[in-house]
Amino acid sequence: MSEQPSKDPFEDCELSPDAILGTHTFEDVLFTDETETPVNVLTGETPAHSQASVDEARSFAAGIDSHTPHIALPASVEAQVETASKPYTAAAFFHFKATGSLKRHRAYHAAYNSDTFSVEFEADYETGDLTISVDEEDRQSEFENV
């Protein structure tokens, strides 16, 4: 006898849905115009590869070809120097660097991929704040067609 796959999207999560239900704001996690960039100690200038605007970062993140929407996160100064990269990177909107923990990352990911939950987010690149809202879908509609 074979086992039926679980319909619980949180089966492999350490957090329950209650931990992410509602609206949560993660402050100062997005790329902003104030994101730290390296400075050449000899010239006092920021290297050309580290110069970028919020609009450029937002466009880069939105241009990622993925089922999951992406946001622009600040890249560390060390990464910018070592790889001569831009001061931002793109990641799924529920990435652990934005939500602060791998546990929350997995819980938001489970909710986003589930038909049971409605997940929305707002990326405010002016303040650097990311707001994620999770609501449980109304199950009443499941019974209306019975």
Q: Binning pLDDT at 50, 70 and 90, where does residue 64 land?
A: very high
- Give the predicted TM-score (pTM) of the model: 0.85
**Interatomic CA distance for residues 21 and 11, integer angstroms:** 16
H-assigned helices in the chain: 54-62, 77-83, 96-99, 102-112, 140-144
Using alpha carbons, list the distances in angstroms from residue 77 to 2, 49, 130: 51, 12, 21
Whether residue 71 contacts residue 91, with contact meaning beta carbons closer than 8 Å, is answered with: yes
For residue 7, pLDDT over 90 is answered with: no
